[in-house]
C-alpha cells in the first residue's frame, strides 16, 4: 500500500499526545540558584587594614570612602546565577550621614545636662527626624545596588516610615526623658511594659522594609503576619529562663561548696560568674537565635514575580561560628575581624537560595528599568544619607 493510500488517523488520537508534549515543553521549570562568594578573608584583610589606617590618619573622614570600598568588594564578589552584584554609592553621602549621626548622638547624650527643656526638645527632634532618615538610608543602599544592569529600589513612603519606626524609637528614647522628669523611675514602668509588644513592632519594621523592595520595575510581595514574630522571642525567653535557673543552681551549689570549704571570698566572685553567664546567654545564644529565626521567616516570605527566596540559616551553626569569631577576634586583638566578617557573610550566603520559574536572563529581559529609581538617583544621594557604620 502506498503512503497516499493510508487512511487518515482518527481525529484527536495524535493531536492529544502532541499537544501534551508541546505543553510540557513550554511549561516553565523552576530553577534553584545559590549564591557564591569569590573573595577571601586574606584578600579582604588587605582592604580592611588600609581602610583602618587611612581612617585613623584622617580622623575618621576616610571612613565613608572605606565603607564604599568594603561594600563594592563584597557586592562585586557575590555571584548569583553567573552574574555579580555591584555598588556605586557616593562616599560624600555617607560622610554627610555620619556627621549628622555624630551630631544627633552628641545632642542626645548631653542635652539633658543643659536643661530639661533642651533634653525634651532634642528627643522630640530625634523622633521627627530619625524615621525619615532611616527610610533615606534604605533608599540610598538599594538604589546604588545593581544586578544584571538593573537597580534595586525602595518605594516605602515617608508616612509608612513613621508608622514602622516611630513606635520602637519612642520605646528607646523616651525612658531617658521620663527619668529626667521623674528620677524615681515611676513614669518609666509603663514604657517598659510596652516591650511586651516589641515583636509586633519588629514585625512592622520588617514588613515595611521587605514589602517595598523593588528590582527593576518589579515590586516585592511579603506575606508574613506580625504575630509570627512572637515565636522566636518566646523561644529566646525560654532559653533565658532555663539559663537563669541553671545559673541560679550553680550559684547556690558553689556558694554551698565555698561555705563548706571555708572559702571566704566566694560571695565576691560567684555573682560575677553569674552575670558573665547571663551575658553569654543573652548576647551569644539568644541574640543569634532570634536573628537567625527572623531572617529565615522574613526572607522566605519575600518574593518577586517569578522569583522566590529561601533562607534556611541554622541557629546552632551560626552560634558556633559567631562564638569562634568572637574568641579569635579577642585573642588576636581585633586583627581577626575581617576574617570573621567574611566567614559570617559566606555562611549567610550558603544558606540562602533563590528559585526562579525560568532563567535569570529571561527574567531580567522581561523587566524594565524603574523610571522612578533612575530619575531620582540624585535626590537619593542627597537625602538618602547612609547612617550605618
Sign of the four-CA dihedral 50, 56, 62, 68? positive
The listed range with the strongest mean pLDDT (32-46, 113-127, 231-245, 247-261) is 32-46
pLDDT (0 to 100) of residue 257: 65
**Cα(120)–Cα(179) distance, integer angstroms:** 11
Q: How big, in percent rounded to 5, are the helix, strand and coil portions of the chain?
A: 70, 10, 20
CB 200 within 8 A of CB 228: no
More reliable by pLDDT, 104 or 201: 201
Annotated domain spans of the chain? 78-223+364-389
More reliable by pLDDT, 67 or 242: 67
Q: Supply the pTM of this predicted model.
A: 0.81
More reliable by pLDDT, 43 or 17: 43
Residue 34: strand, helix, or coil: strand
Residue 344 has φ and ψ, to the nearest 5°, of -65, -40
- The 10s digit of each residue's pLDDT in 122-147 is 889 999 999 998 998 899 999 999 99
CB-based contacts of 341: which residues, under 8 Å, 6+ apart? 44
pLDDT (0 to 100) of residue 211: 95
DSSP assignment of 79-143, as one string? EETTEEEEE---HHHHHHHHHHHHHHHHHHHHHHHH-HHHHHHHHHHHHHHHHHHHHHHHHHHHH
To the nearest 10 degrees (0 to 180), the angle between helices 287-300 and 198-211 is 40
Task: Please provide the size of the chain in residues.
Answer: 389
Element of type H or E holding 352:
strand 352-356
Strand order of the sheet with strand 31-37? 218-219, 213-215, 150-154, 145-147, 83-87, 78-80, 31-37, 352-356, 307-311, 302-304, 221-222
> Residue 69 — pLDDT band, cuts 50, 70, 90?
very high
> Residue 266 — pLDDT band, cuts 50, 70, 90?
low
Neighbour-count burial of 264, counting CB atoms closer than 10 A to its CB (0-12 exposed, 13-18 middle, 19+ buried): exposed
pLDDT at 48 over 80: yes
More reliable by pLDDT, 358 or 347: 347
CB 249 within 8 A of CB 178: no
pLDDT (0 to 100) of residue 66: 95
Q: What is the mean pLDDT of the chain?
A: 82
Query: What value does the mean pLDDT take over residues 40-45?
Result: 96
Question: What is the b/e burial string over 109-119, where b = at least 16 CB atoms within 10 angstroms of the residue's CB?
Answer: eebbeeeeeeb
Query: What value does the mean pLDDT take over residues 166-179?
Result: 86
Residue 133 grid coordinates? 532618615
pLDDT at 74 over 90: yes
CB 382 within 8 A of CB 329: no
pLDDT at 185 over 60: yes
pLDDT at 247 over 90: no
> For the ranges 40-49, 110-119, 255-264, 307-316, which has the lowest average pLDDT?
255-264
CB 295 within 8 A of CB 242: no
- The 10s digit of each residue's pLDDT in 275-293 is 666 676 677 778 888 999 9
pLDDT at 271 over 70: no
**Cα(308)–Cα(28) distance, integer angstroms:** 14
pLDDT at 20 over 50: no
Query: What value does the mean pLDDT take over residues 373-388?
Result: 44
Amino acid at each position: 500500500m502506498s503512503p497516499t493510500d493510508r487512511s487518515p488517523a482518527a481525529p484527536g488520537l495524535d493531536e492529544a499526545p502532541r499537544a501534551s508534549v508541546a505543553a510540557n515543553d513550554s511549561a516553565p521549570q523552576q530553577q534553584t540558584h545559590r549564591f557564591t562568594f569569590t573573595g577571601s578573608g586574606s584578600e579582604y584583610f588587605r582592604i580592611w587594614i588600609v581602610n583602618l589606617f587611612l581612617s585613623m590618619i584622617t580622623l575618621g573622614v576616610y571612613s565613608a570612602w572605606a565603607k564604599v570600598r568594603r561594600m563594592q568588594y563584597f557586592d562585586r564578589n557575590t555571584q548569583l546565577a553567573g552574574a555579580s552584584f555591584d555598588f556605586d554609592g557616593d562616599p560624600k553621602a555617607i560622610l554627610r550621614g555620619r556627621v549628622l549621626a555624630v551630631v544627633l548622638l552628641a545632642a542626645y547624650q548631653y542635652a539633658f545636662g543643659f536643661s530639661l527643656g533642651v533634653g525634651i526638645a532634642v528627643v522630640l527632634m530625634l523622633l521627627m527626624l530619625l524615621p525619615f532618615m532611616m527610610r533615606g538610608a534604605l533608599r540610598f543602599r538599594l538604589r546604588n545596588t545593581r544586578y544584571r544592569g538593573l537597580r534595586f529600589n525602595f518605594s516605602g513612603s515617608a508616612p509608612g516610615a513613621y508608622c514602622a519606626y516611630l513606635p520602637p524609637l519612642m520605646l528607646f528614647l523616651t525612658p531617658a526623658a521620663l527619668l529626667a522628669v521623674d528620677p524615681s523611675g515611676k513614669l518609666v514602668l509603663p514604657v517598659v511594659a510596652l516591650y511586651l509588644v516589641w515583636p509586633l513592632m519588629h514585625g512592622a519594621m520588617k514588613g515595611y522594609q521587605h514589602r517595598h523592595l523593588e528590582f527593576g520595575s518589579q515590586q516585592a510581595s511579603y506575606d508574613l503576619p506580625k504575630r509570627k514574630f512572637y515565636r522566636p522571642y518566646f523561644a529566646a525567653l525560654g532559653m533565658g529562663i532555663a539559663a537563669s535557673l541553671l545559673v541560679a543552681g550553680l550559684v547556690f551549689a558553689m556558694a554551698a561548696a565555698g561555705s563548706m570549704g571555708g572559702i571566704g571570698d566566694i560571695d565576691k566572685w560567684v555573682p560575677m560568674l553569674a552575670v558573665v553567664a547571663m551575658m553569654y546567654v543573652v548576647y551569644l545564644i539568644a541574640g543569634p537565635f532570634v536573628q537567625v529565626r527572623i531572617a529565615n521567616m522574613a526572607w522566605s516570605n519575600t518574593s518577586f514575580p517569578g522569583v522566590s527566596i529561601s533562607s534556611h540559616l541554622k541557629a546552632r551553626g551560626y552560634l558556633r561560628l559567631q562564638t569562634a569569631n568572637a574568641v579569635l577576634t579577642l585573642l588576636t586583638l581585633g586583627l581577626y575581624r575581617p576574617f570573621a566578617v567574611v566567614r559570617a557573610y559566606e555562611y549567610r550566603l550558603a544558606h540562602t537560595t533563590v528559585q526562579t520559574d525560568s532563567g535569570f536572563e529571561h527574567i531580567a529581559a522581561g523587566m524594565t528599568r524603574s523610571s522612578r529609581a533612575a530619575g531620582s538617583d540624585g535626590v537619593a544621594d542627597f537625602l538618602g544619607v547612609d547612617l550605618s557604620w
